Structures are given as C-alpha cells and as structure tokens.
Amino acid sequence: MTLDAQHFKDLLLKEAGVLETELASIGRKNPDQKGDWEAVGTDLDEDNADEFDVADDLEQFENNKAELNELEIQLNNVKNAIKKIEDGKYGLCEVCGKPIELDRLEANPSAKTDKEHMNG
C-alpha cells in the first residue's frame, strides 16, 4: 500500500479550516488556555429580557457547548493526524500497528484505527 501523505495532509488541513470556522460560529478561543474553545451565548440584555428569552438563551448556550465539545474533539483528532504525517507515523492503527485501509482514510483522514478495530 502506497500512502500519499501530502494528499491526506491537504485533506486534513481543509477539514481543520472547516472545523475552526464552525467552532468560531458558536464559540471563541479560550484566552486562558491555548487550543481550547469555549461556548458563547447571545448578547442578551438580561435586565430587559423576559424569562422566556433568558431560558432560550441558556438552552442555546448549552446546545452550543455540546456541539463545541464534539467539534473540538474532531479538530484535535485532525491536528493529531497532521502531526503523525509530520512524524512519519500516519496511517497506522493505534491498536495493532497495521496500516489503516486507504478507503477508510479517504472517508475519514483522521482515523486512528483500521476497520477491524474501529468500534473497539
């Protein structure tokens, strides 16, 4: 199996850009912790808002927080895969060390495992 590392690095960099755009739409970078994102709510004037507006804002914040956590995990997986390319360790299953199938990497360039171990 011949792995075109540059092809997968390009895919991963593109995915990282998309994920960062999505993260920025619902959160902001945490100024106190590098690489961390935090959810943001709306700029609701709580003094003039009724209780339903406040409840809606809190619900939106919680939804943003949950989505942000998932996106942040995906972004970290992408960054780890890029680092593996740079270290010459990309495309190897983290469980058994065998090469990850090319079709799996095409579908998910940040895959950590081969098909045999993908649900384990």
Each residue's pLDDT tens digit, 17-34: 999 999 998 888 887 888
Please provide the DSSP assignment of 89-110 as one string: -TTB-TTT-PBPPHHHHHH-TT
For the entire predicted model, the pTM comes to: 0.79
Higher pLDDT, 102 or 40: 102
Q: Is 116 within 8 Å of 96 (Cβ atoms)?
A: yes
Each residue's pLDDT tens digit, 45-63: 555 556 766 677 677 778 8
